[in-house]
Amino acid sequence: MSTMRTVRVEGERLYDISIGPGLLADPVRISHVLRGRHALIVSDSNVAPLYADRVEQTLHAARAGMQVARFVMPAGEQEKTLSRFCQCLDALATLGATRDATVIALGGGVIGDLAGFAAACWMRGIDVIQMPTTLLAMVDSSVGGKTGVDLAAGKNLVGAFHAPRAVIADTTVLRTLPPRELCAGLAEVVKYGAVFGADFLGWLESHASALAAGDDFALTEAIARSCLYKAEVVSRDPYEHGERALLNFGHTFGHAIEAEQGYAGAGSQALNHGEAVAVGMVLAARLSSALGRASAADAQRLQVLLQRLGLPTALPAGLDPQALLARMRLDKKAEAGGLRFILWDHAGLASVVRGVPDELVLDVLRAA
């Protein structure tokens, strides 16, 4: 990958997303966004052995006299918990982190969400620099400032909006990403095409093989285009009062699946976030079609693309439709008046819809 790309996120907290090879070892870029004398690198048991030394060296080179500590937690969605969050705060306390300290979130979306939430809460808010190491984190979770942790009762139920100081995405780290995780990231990429860009959806169809094979050029292009879509939306609606909710396409079903399965992690058979969103988008498209919005052919087109990208599109066996529906009632889009879904109209267009009958949702789940 040779091209360097920058996407700016506007709004009350303006920041840049830098995308390109070798950025974890670039002290100049990070020196512009580093303050104070304390930095806590938050990472997981897979990523830290690969990349934490490199980042620590870069921090020292960027700023003389930096005190750098690490909080390394076990990998996996099952670890995105309040108890790990508390341990992360303890690590900030041990470091003696002052209000000008920086949290470095080095990892996938689990690390980005948890570390970002710790940064949001420590002394009521310190800087976080997102250094995403999965495709999913590069295209989605590192951007936009949603942070938080899961509860057994549901995904991301505790959290805060806390925009990063910067996002630094070193694309070379994708070479060590397991293929299953690469595919998971492609699900969120497809989401942007489905919801915002018919042209982009077509581009994804014509580059599906290259993307699934991890082609450098195709991935860099997909990351930059996804970040542009997300940056535009979160710049206009940072706190999800309106159109930002469209980024939740597929997530009402997807989050219910993740929680009902007990979350992905060591020894678990559960779908990971990207996979659950892939299934969720297919179900949302079918629900849209059952309501006379999207055509059945469009729903089928989405399913075929996701399958070509190595993603599941069927509900895992053994999940009870009623239990999934009950999970959806704790979705953050739900209101006292009932569920709200992001439904699909056609490629590039989706809407927030209230008043979908429970029976129709159950029909879609039973048929999946």
Ligand X SMILES: O=C(O)C(=O)C[C@@H](O)[C@H](O)[C@H](O)COP(=O)(O)O
Task: Point out the annotated binding site for Zn(2+).
Answer: 188, 251, 273
Which residues ranging from 162 to 201 are in contact with ligand X (CB under 6 A)?
188
CB 130, min distance to ligand NAD, A: 9
CA distance 289 to 269: 30
Judged by beta carbon distances under 5 to 8 A according to partner kind, the member of ligand NAD, ligand X, none in contact with residue 110 is: ligand NAD
The binder of ligand NAD chosen from 273, 293, 301, 327 (CB under 6 A): 273
> How many beta carbons lie within 10 A of that of residue 288, not counting itself?
27
Of 201, 222, 225, nearest in space to 213 by CA:
222
Taking the least distance from each CB to ligand NAD, the nearer of 118 and 356 is: 118
Taking the least distance from each CB to ligand X, the nearer of 140 and 170 is: 140
Of 350, 331, 188, 367, nearest in space to 285 by CA:
350
> How many beta carbons lie within 10 A of that of residue 363, not counting itself?
15
The binder of ligand NAD chosen from 136, 259, 276, 324 (CB under 6 A): 136
Stretch that binds ligand X, among 14-22, 23-31, 209-217, 239-247 (CB under 6 A): 239-247
Of 84, 251, 286, 293, the active-site residue reads 251
Taking the least distance from each CB to ligand X, the nearer of 62 and 277 is: 277
Residues 6+ apart with CB under 8 A from 276: 253, 254, 255, 257, 258
User: What's the Cα-to-Cα distance from 5 to each of 58, 82, 164, rounded to whole Å?
Assistant: 20, 35, 18
The binder of ligand NAD chosen from 16, 56, 127, 140 (CB under 6 A): 140
Of 352, 304, 17, nearest in space to 166 by CA:
17
177 touches ligand NAD (CB under 6 A) = yes
CA distance 116 to 142: 9
CA distance 44 to 2: 28
Is the Cα dihedral 79, 143, 31, 20 positive or negative? positive
- Binding site, annotated residues for NAD(+): 109-113, 133-134, 146, 155
Structure tokens at 360: 């129709």
Give the contact letters, 19-58, x = binds to ligand NAD (CB under 6 A), - = no.
-------------------------x-xx--x--------
Count H helices, E strands: the chain?
A: 14, 11
Site size toward ligand NAD (CB under 6 A) is 32
Q: Is 248 a catalytic residue?
A: yes
Taking the least distance from each CB to ligand NAD, the nearer of 290 and 309 is: 309
Of 63, 70, 146, 165, the active-site residue reads 146
80 touches ligand X (CB under 6 A) = no
Contact footprint for ligand X (CB under 6 A):
140, 144, 146, 155-156, 188, 240, 244, 247-248, 251, 332
> Which residues are part of the catalytic machinery?
124, 146, 188, 230, 240, 244, 248, 251, 255, 273
